[in-house]
Amino acid sequence: MLRAVRHLILRAPLFMPLLGVVGCLLGGQWWSLTVIALFVSHLARAWRVLLCTLLCVGIGWVQEHRQEHNRSYLRQQLQEKGYVHLEGTIERKLSRGCILDTGFNGVRVALRGDIPWKTGDRITVYAEPQPYNPAPIKGMFDTKTWLHSQGLAANLRVQRAEYLEPSSGWLRIKGLAESVRAGLVRTLMPPGTEDDPRRQVLCSLTLGDKSGAEQSVINVFKRGGCLHAFAVSGLHVGIVSGLFYLLAFRLRLSPRTQAVLVLILVGLYVMVTGLAVPAMRAYVMVALVLIGRELRRRVDMVNIWSLPALLILLIEPWQLGNAGFVLSFAVYAAIGIGVRVCMNVRPWLQPDSYLPRRLYTVWDDRLCKFDYILRGTVIVSFSAWLVSLPITAAFFHTVTPYSFLTNIAISPLLPLVMGTGLLASLLGGVPLIGAAVQWVALKCSSLLIAVVSFFASLPMSYMPIVPQAVAGQGMVCNLGYGESFAVLGNPGLVVGTGSAASARFSTEPSLFFSGYRPAALLQIYSGDKWDKAAAVLKESWPQMQLLSINEQVLHISTEAGAYEVFPPPPDLSRSLAENHCPIVRWHRADGTKVLYVGCASALTWEQLPTESKRADILIVGRNDDMPPELKQLLAESGAVRCILLPDVPSQAGNAPIEGVEIERLSDDARILKF
C-alpha cells in the first residue's frame, strides 16, 4: 500500500504542495488538507516532496498575509483621512474606470470615474471611497465579493487624475498587446457594425474583447449554459493550438520546429487576448506537454495540471476565491477523467467485435473514428458539466440543466468560428480575400448564435437554486436614487422597473433570484427610457404581458389572484410624472387585499370607490406635487401594515399609529416581502 502511494506521489510530485497551499489559503478547517499533504508525504517517505510542500505552504502563507496587511493599511488610511493619493499603473480597463496596480507589495484598487488612458500607463490619482450596498439577495452582483475575488483593496471614486508616463514593465507589454487587439477588433467590427450580434460574438469568442458585446447577446450564452465559450478560456487555447499545429503539420515542418512555432503563436494569442487565468493555465500546460515530448520525458497530466495552479496561487493567493480560476482547473480535471473513461469504455458504434482490425474496410475505420469522437465529446462534456454544476451553484447561485447538451451541439462549430474569426481579423483588410473570409466567419457566427439560442429558449434552461416564491407573496425593492419596483404575486404583476440600467442590474436579478415569474408588467411612467427598461425584462420573460395605462380601470388575473389598475383622472395636471401613476389593488387568493398607491396623487386616491380603498396592506411612495396624507390613507383603507417606499418624508412614517405596522424601504432594508 505504501509503495503504491509513494509511486503515485512521485509520478505527480507537485500535487501534494498544491494541496497544502490550497488548505493554507482557505484556512479554518481546510488546514486539514495541508496536514494530510504533509502526513502522506512523510508516510510515503517522499522527503523531497515533503520539503517542497513545506516550502510552498510557507511562501503561500507569507504572501497572503503580507498582501492582506498592505490592503488593510490602505483601508485604514481611507477610514482616517477619507481620501487617498496613489500612484500606479493601469492593469486593466473596466466599463467605467480601471484596476490600478499601486506597486506597493501587491496592493491593487478599483478606480471608478473617467480614466481616458490605457493599460500600461502610469497615473497619479486623488480618490475617495466609493460607497456601495451589499447585495440584498444571494446571486445578485455583490461589490464586496467581487473586490475579494479580484484581490482588490478598495473601491475608489476618482476626484482628480493625472497622466505620468508609460510604464516600462510587464504591464507596458500588456498594454501594447491590447493595442494590437484593438486593431484586430476594428477589422472584425468596422465602424457602423457595432450592433451586429455576429460580430460581437466573433470579437468576444476569438479575441476576448467583450467591450462591444450587448448584454442581450451575453445573456443568450449565459442562459444556454455556455458562457465560457463567449470569452477566451482554456477551450479556446486548445482549439487555437490544434489549428496552429495543423498548419505547421501541413507546411511539412520538422516536429521540433512545429513545437516551437506552436508555442510562439499560441503565446502571442494568449497575450493579445488579455492573459486571462484560464488561458494562461492552458498555455502553460500546452508548453509543458510540447517541451516534455521534445525532451523525451514522461509527461504526467496531474503534475502538469498542478504546476500552473501552484504558480498562480503563490503569486496571487486571492485567485482561490475567483470563480474563473476554480472553474478552469476543476473542469480540466473533469475533462482529464472523462478522457480516461472514454479510452476504457467499450465503443458504442463498431463493426463486429470479433473482427480483427486488419480486416476493417475503409468505412469500418471511419466508423471507429466517428465513434471515438462521439464517445469522447459526450463523456467529456458530461464530465465537465457534472463538475461545474456545484461550482456555478456556489458562486453564481444558478443551474443550467441543458448546458452539456449545448456544449455537445456547439463543439463542431467552435473550431470553425475560431478559425474563420482569426483569419478574418488578420486578412480582413485584404481586397476580395478579406471580404470572403469575413462572410464565412459571419455565417459561422450566425449558426453558433442560432444553436445557443435554441437551447437558451428551452424551458428551465437557466434557473436559480432558490425555490419558487409562493403565489400569494409580494415584494418591494429599493433600486436607489429614489426608484423602486414591486412584484405582486407569483406569477404576478410587476409595477415599475426603474431605468434600463436598474432593470438590467437590479430589477431582473431581484426577480430571478427571489424565484418570481412576472406575468405582466405595469410601467408607471411612459417614454423611451422606460420602454428600454421594459425590454430588458421582456428578454428574460418573453411571455410577460406589457400593460398600458388608459382611462378605463384595467382588470387582469393570474394564479396569484385578481388585479385592478385604477388610472389617474384624465384632467389631472401633468406638471409632474408622479401625478399620472396609477393605483393597483391586488386581491390575493386567500382573501387579503394589497393596495399599491405608490407615488399616485391625492386626486387619484379620492376618485377610488370607497370599497376599492379597503386593504390589509398599503404601499405608499412619494409625491411632491399632490401627496395624499398618510393618516388619511391608513384610516380610509383600514390597513394593518404599511410599507413606505424610498424618499418618503421621514415625518410621514415616524409618528406611531395604533394597530398599524409601518416599515420603510431604505438602503439598509432594500427588499421587503409581504
Q: What is the DSSP string of 425-450?
A: HHHTTSTTHHHHHHHHHHHHHHHHHH
CA 362, 367, 370, 375 dihedral sign is negative
Q: Please give the Cα distance from 150 to 145 (Å, whole number).
A: 9
3-class state of residue 104 by DSSP: coil
- Cell numbers placing 314: 503563490
Chain position carrying cell 501587491: 106
How does residue 479 score in pLDDT terms, banded at 50, 70 and 90? confident
Q: Is residue 309 within 8 Å of 281, Cβ to Cβ?
A: yes
Half-sphere exposure of 406 (CA within 13 A, CB side): 28
How does residue 574 score in pLDDT terms, banded at 50, 70 and 90? low
pLDDT at position 279, please?
82
pLDDT at position 521, please?
92
Q: Please give the Cα distance from 582 to 526 (Å, whole number).
A: 12
Mean pLDDT, residues 208-213 taken together: 81
Mean pLDDT, residues 52-66 taken together: 91
pLDDT at position 61, please?
92
Most confident stretch, 9-13, 20-24, 112-116, 188-192: 20-24
The beta strand positions in 58-174, using DSSP E, are 84-94, 97-101, 108-112, 121-129, 155-166
Mean pLDDT of the chain: 84
Q: What is the DSSP string of 378-393?
A: HHHHHHHHHHHHHHHH
pLDDT at position 91, please?
87
pLDDT at position 578, please?
64
- Cell numbers placing 434: 478579406
Amino acid at 53: T
Q: Is the pLDDT of residue 88 over 60?
A: yes
How does residue 352 score in pLDDT terms, banded at 50, 70 and 90? low
Q: Please give the Cα distance from 14 to 302 (Å, whole number).
A: 8
How does residue 652 score in pLDDT terms, banded at 50, 70 and 90? low
Q: Is the pLDDT of residue 35 over 80?
A: yes
3-class state of residue 404 by DSSP: helix
pLDDT at position 585, please?
92
How does residue 353 score in pLDDT terms, banded at 50, 70 and 90? low
Q: Is the pLDDT of residue 634 over 90?
A: no
Pick 343 or 311 by higher pLDDT: 311
Mean pLDDT lowest among 21-25, 268-272, 371-375, 576-580: 576-580
Q: Is the pLDDT of residue 1 over 70?
A: no
Pick 634 or 482 by higher pLDDT: 634
Q: How far is CA 424 from the centre of its chain?
A: 28
pLDDT at position 299, please?
77
Q: Is the pLDDT of residue 55 over 90?
A: yes
Q: Is the pLDDT of residue 651 over 60?
A: no
Which H, E and C letters describe 132-146, residue by residue?
CCCCCCECECCHHHH
- CA distance from start to end of the chain: 61
Q: Is the pLDDT of residue 324 over 70?
A: yes
pLDDT at position 450, please?
92
How does residue 600 score in pLDDT terms, banded at 50, 70 and 90? confident
Q: Residue 655 phi/psi, 5° resolution?
A: -75, 125
How does residue 501 score in pLDDT terms, banded at 50, 70 and 90? confident
pLDDT at position 355, please?
66
- Cell numbers placing 10: 512521485
Mean pLDDT lowest among 226-230, 489-493, 520-524, 633-637: 226-230
Q: Is the pLDDT of residue 508 over 80?
A: yes
- Cell numbers placing 427: 486578412
Report percent pLDDT > 90 for the chain. Answer: 11
Mean pLDDT, residues 90-108 taken together: 84
